[in-house]
Chains A and B, each alone.
Chain A
């Protein structure tokens, strides 16, 4: 089967190159047949990538260790659920995932535009085919996921235990879908520039793909944060790690793009800005993929030293230089159709929002690449840490949240003074009441920046609620519908607008959680013996007893040994029993001995989090098993040649020894207020995006013939 997989890659590469060539020939010669042939070639690449993925996934599910990738990234005892995800835990497998998603997205957009954008689409096809060819070339020439071993090992190395988490199953595909999705508007922007059709047609055709990409990338980032919080054992959700930043940067510029294309659609403005934004977004998406692969920056996520860093860098350089040259050569075609009517207009605020988002991206880029910059300039690798990132990004985040409140209430073109007063009166009043209430009843004043964020969040939520209420009231005035129906109709008829507002509300709620949990969390690191206690936030926590078990991995990750603790947390009358633990996975290092290898492999924290709308109590334990070493050494010497059953009994006895006489263990406990609202806000954000993406009834084709003005009125009253 590996032969079939490799054949799919080679034929896929040749087909992608053909697609690029046929599309370019068709575009230049006017041959429709060549253009259609090129488009069909992209469909074929998609079919080949689906086949290749099925071949590789079936090898993982069968534990076919003749595949090098399976031997290195899976094992017979890896749970089936995680065997399925192991493909994208490896570098070669994630390249195949990129190519698969790329070909599927390309096929979808080319099918959707098969009867439109006749001039732009062939060039876009060539660009998409070129990108697909690059990833296929990487696999064919350097990182073939179908490489086989001359002698298949009996057992595989197993999936990295840190990746055995449900969020990790969908986090990478989500991120990659986001990265890949932005290649669609990028390709059509390049096509539009080549044929000098720089109006809004390419935006209308690809806007939904940009939104899908943005949604998936955002969801991927959220899942990554959730995984970090619930799996990594340090208690945070965002560490400003280079790979985290690499996914955030294209999302920020993508956010700017999604806002500014509305200005081009409605006013014909910001054309240079929009093509520049989408080029930047795509370059950052490539950079994100490159950072994970290159190993040039230290990251807990990176795949380490890679053989394809240079190729990625070369491709990124080609994209930057080619796109920049094209934009510069088309500056005359990119002139705006209109000018800004007023600074108090939605387009003006979108421009400010764009500048803040780009500024945020620039500072994150600077901080992420500072180690490389400092090394290049001074010879010493210096880095900036989370405090630096928090300091420089917090003011910009505050401005963004404020803009999320202002944008929805300001109309396009120009706002009247009376309209602004009417729109802001209630939200500002609610914000003032929020400020007074927070100062009077909480300790928010201890963190002024968090206090300002809470006020801005109240502003956004009031604005969104008010918009929904006013819109529903206006609809009721026209239709006389009851309130729930009027609300539903309002949203259904204006999905982009109200989906967008819901996204704003989600972002605000997310920042509420970020501000509260960063400013007011209480973290304690202690080392305790059973029976001892400590305080974390409002909780009195007691180490009740140690736990040590064989084959009782409650998280279902396939860990044979689990050491942990039972904690009792008391806050007033509220009592919680917590069971943080640490899973131990067998090492493949034979020198550790037949018994020792079960204690010297990788270990992961299984944190116990008590989620709550008001606060989370997060606990982790690091058991000290050093005192078991003499017993392990002795068992290694005595039971080397014993049967597996005997060795299992010996391991259980050693584990029992820890349970009976545990040394002090290290604990981390965090009392973190409102952190759950980060995930709730993220979910609302995604729901809003889905509403905005969903096609509205008006998108359906209608053919009505009548006198134009009457026809216009009639058609507008429909849908």
Chain B
């Protein structure tokens, strides 16, 4: 009896929680904010790479020429990400 009652109560509770988004909806699709979050993560990863290369250079592991080439490439990639972020921001907050 305890088992049956518990199953009924727990099922009712779980059903109320999981069906809520289906019944009430989840608001408008926030695809832009999703893209923004992913781009922010990519940006931070690229920044980390630039800092790593800088630290390697300062510690003498990378030659000046190698560092310059790597840094230029990484910064170009980072700027691409920043441009994409601005596009997303423009879509999210149109002037």
Contacts from A to B (Cβ < 8 Å): 1-4, 6-8, 10-11, 14-15, 18-19, 22, 32-34, 36-38, 40-41, 43-44, 48, 115-118, 200-201, 204-205, 265-266, 409-416, 418-419, 422-423, 467, 470-471, 474, 477-478, 493-494, 496-497, 698-699, 701, 703, 705, 708-709, 711-712, 715-716
Contacts and interface: CB of A to CB of B under 8 A. Distances in A.
Given A33-B21, A41-B18, A474-B58, A200 B45 contact: yes
A701 B49 CA distance: 17
Given A37-B19, A412-B53, 16 more contacts: A2-B2, A6-B6, A10-B7, A32-B21, A36-B26, A40-B21, A201-B38, A411-B56, A412-B52, A413-B66, A414-B66, A474-B58, A497-B52, A698-B47, A712-B75, A712-B82
A138 B89 CA distance: 48
Given A3-B2, A40-B17, A698-B44, A423 B22 contact: no
B59 interface: yes
B48 interface: yes
Chain B interface category by residue count: 35 or more
Contact of A15 (B14, B30, B63): B14
Contacts of B87: none
Per DSSP, chain A at the interface is helix
B52 A416 contact: no
B59 A467 contact: yes
Contacts of B79: 708-709, 712
Contacts of B7: 7, 10-11
Interface in B54-75: 55-56, 58-63, 66, 70, 75
Interface of B: 1-7, 10-11, 13-14, 17-22, 25-26, 29-31, 33-34, 37-38, 40-42, 44-45, 47-53, 55-56, 58-63, 66, 70, 75, 78-79, 82-83, 86, 89
Nearest to A31: B22
A716 B38 contact: no
A117 B51 contact: no
A576 B11 CA distance: 63
Contacts of B5: 3
7 contacts: A19-B18, A43-B17, A116-B37, A698-B47, A708-B79, A712-B82, A716-B47
A44 B62 contact: no
A44 B14 contact: yes
B38 A11 contact: no
Contacts of B83: 708
A415 B70 CA distance: 12
B61 A423 contact: yes
Given A115-B30, A412-B52, A416-B62, A7 B18 contact: no
A410 B59 CA distance: 11
A204 B45 contact: yes
A201 B60 CA distance: 31
Contacts of A496: 48
Nearest to A19: B18
Contact of A416 (B11, B33, B50, B66): B66
A11 B63 contact: no
A219 B94 CA distance: 51
Nearest to A201: B38
B10 A118 contact: no
Nearest to B59: A470
Contacts of B47: 698, 715-716
Contacts of A40: 17-18, 20-21
A698 B86 CA distance: 19
Given A4-B6, A7-B3, A115-B34, A204 B63 contact: no
